Amino acid sequence: MTDAPLIAILDDEPEIRRLLSAALEEAGFRTVGFARATEFEAALRRIQPDACLIDLGLPDRDGLALVHRLASESGAAIIIISGRAQVQDRVTGLELGADDYIIKPFEPAEVVARIRARLRRPQRDAGPGRQQVRFAGWSADFDRYTLTSPEGAETPISHAEAEVLRLFLDNPRRLISRAQMLETLGGTAGESFDRAMDVRISRLRTKLGEDPKNPRLIKTIYGAGYIFLAELG
Amino acid sequence: MTDAPLIAILDDEPEIRRLLSAALEEAGFRTVGFARATEFEAALRRIQPDACLIDLGLPDRDGLALVHRLASESGAAIIIISGRAQVQDRVTGLELGADDYIIKPFEPAEVVARIRARLRRPQRDAGPGRQQVRFAGWSADFDRYTLTSPEGAETPISHAEAEVLRLFLDNPRRLISRAQMLETLGGTAGESFDRAMDVRISRLRTKLGEDPKNPRLIKTIYGAGYIFLAELG
DNA sequence: GACCCCTGTAACAATTCGTAGGATTCGGGA
DNA sequence: TCCCGAATCCTACGAATTGTTACAGGGGTC
């Protein structure tokens, strides 16, 4: 839980791996290096890095395909390191799901700073690990689909309710428009499906013990959307 | 209503602002530009951008201080654009809380790609509701949409009322003309929409407990506009 | 097959907010 | 000071948005 973040390094040049892992460990990270994409992918079943530094132009695999797969399946931050400096390369790398794109030759200090910038944000971890979030005295468990009140009472929540709650927890204290919700929750636009949103929220509100006249956690902004007010922790 | 992400652009060169907003709007974003940091900061009480593009080296303020404040108080993604290409500049910018650092001259396509990369991930926690303002014994909370009287009584305020109040708080003791209000609050000019303003103000006045005969906080200047009289703090 | 829970739809209630119209106030000129 | 037109305020009403409840279909379990 409070371990140092783990950074995976995928680069076929041993010299670069050494340089990077030295700088990162100096900065307080744990590192693990790989020379080939196949090794790296095999290891991903065992370890769960917080960020991946990936060198494009690997000998044994198309790096961009790997980036794409990682982006959709892993919650780790993905940072490309590449010697290809063309704007088009950078754009496609980022569009495929990379979080950053660093050009060789790079400065280790900048790599560290960019990794830190990525890890500052809450990770959306996709692993099967414990998915518990605490907020305003409550505790949500997305594995067991339960909600525990500040007093300790536990009530089950449905999948639909959990989806809404997760969206709120990912964007605390930010306005979330209806359109955003429909998009995130997979509802096809328009129709009377946004009615379903209202109902989901209404049900979630009751389970959170909200006062209908004066909701404290889920606030509705007329004509704009919703705001989830809670300190995470 | 607020479907497309909103990108704020802070740069003192009009040419750059035009270039960026053209590229971003082409990519489906909404944009809003500012030439000065003070304008930008005032507007932040009113608008809620999803990402901020900030040019360092602004004439009227230290850009890095602004970045630092934004990073701790806003949930928006922060991207620095700068002509200073030294590694040390980049590192300090990122350490201060920026999410990315782009060097001039930049390619608009890459800026778009990097913004997209930022917005893919859940936004940073917006911090403990920095959206509180105190004035004349009152306290306005723009997260919870409440107004607390000097005696401690709390009344909810609607979105429309909050917009007006925010505008007043951004321009204390300064005359605000009707035209200005309509423009800021998004009302399409002319028509009988300025009647709506009257009503908004009237409702806000009642919630502030104003004496209709002798308003103390929101004063109307016949034929000119309104003035909000209050010490902020 | 009977039962139960989840989830969307529909119908109705409550809230928000702009519009309309008359009442009131303001400022200038007689 | 008094009067008049214009600007501003206030109240009520209605359209649009959102909340809530009841109900029906679907899928899973025993």
Q: State the DSSP string of B42-73.
A: HHTTT---SEEEEESS-TTS-HHHHHHHHHHH
CB contact under 8 A, B143 and A229: yes
Is A124 in contact with A71 (CB distance < 8 Å)? no
pLDDT of residue A74: 77
The residue type of A68 is H
Q: Which residues of B touch A90 (CB under 8 A)?
A: 110, 113
Query: Min CA distance, A114 vs chain B (Å)?
Result: 7
Per residue in B118-133, is it b (16+ CB within 10 Å) or e — as a string?
Answer: bbebbbbbbeeebbeb
Which residues, numbered 94 to 133 in chain A, qualify as contacts with chain B under a Cβ-Cβ cut-off of 8 Å? Answer: 94-95, 97-100, 107, 109-110, 112-114, 116-117, 120-122, 124
At residue A192, the pLDDT reads 62
Measuring from the CA of residue A197 to each C1' atom, give the nucleotide at the shortest distance: C8
A125 pLDDT band, cuts 50/70/90, is: very low
Asked if A213 reaches chain B (Cβ–Cβ under 8 Å), the answer is no
Residue pairs between chains A and B whose CB atoms are closer than 8 Å = 106
pLDDT of residue B129: 52
Lowest mean pLDDT segment, chosen from A106-120, A208-222, B51-65: B51-65
Shortest-distance nucleotide from B220 CA to C1' = D8
Chain A residues touching residue B120 (CB < 8 angstroms): 97, 99
Q: Kindly give, in sequence order, each residue whose CB lies less than 8 Å from that of residue A233, ignoring residues fewer than 6 positions away.
A: A134, A135
pLDDT at residue A23 greater than cutoff 90: yes
Residues 7-66 of A with CB under 7 A from strand D: none
Residues of chain B with pLDDT under 70: 1-3, 46, 58-61, 122-130, 186-192
Alpha-helical segments (H) within chain A: 14-26, 37-43, 63-73, 87-95, 108-120, 159-170, 178-184, 193-207
* Average pLDDT value over all residues in chain A: 85
Percent over 90 (pLDDT), chain B: 35
Determine the nucleotide nearest to A224 by Cα–C1' distance: D17
Taking residue B19's Cβ as centre, other Cβ atoms within 10 Å add up to 16
Residue A1 has pLDDT above 50, yes or no: no
CA-to-C1' span, A182 to D14 (A): 29
For residue A203, what are its two tokens? Answer: 């049900």
Q: B199 — phi, psi (to 5°)?
A: -65, -45
Provide the CA B218 to C1' C24 distance, Å, integer.
18
Rounded to two decimals, what is the model's pTM?
0.73
According to the model, what pLDDT value does residue A158 have?
92
CB B138 within 8 A of CB B150: yes
pLDDT at position B108 is 93
- Nearest nucleotide, C1' to the C-alpha of A187? C8
Nearest by CB to B116, which of A95, A112, A179?
A: A95
pLDDT tens, residue by residue, A156-191: 999 999 999 999 998 888 888 888 888 777 655 455
- Selection from B127, B131, B117, B128 nearest residue B77 by Cα: B117
Sequence letter at residue A164? V
The partner residue sitting opposite A113, judged by closest CB among B95, B121, B123, is: B95
Query: Is the confidence at residue A225, as pLDDT, over 50?
Result: yes
| CA dist., res. A184 & res. A134, Å (int) | 22
Q: What is the dihedral of CA B173, B177, B182, B185, to 10 degrees?
A: -10
Query: For residues A194 and A164, what is the distance between their CA atoms, to the nearest angstrom?
Result: 13
Q: Do A173 and B75 touch (CB under 8 A)?
A: yes
pLDDT at B99: 93
Best mutation target among B47, B70, B80, B100 (most A Cβ atoms within 10 Å) is: B100
pLDDT at position B203 is 93
User: What local confidence, expressed as pLDDT, does residue B205 receive?
Assistant: 94
At B232 the pLDDT is 82
pLDDT of residue A200: 93
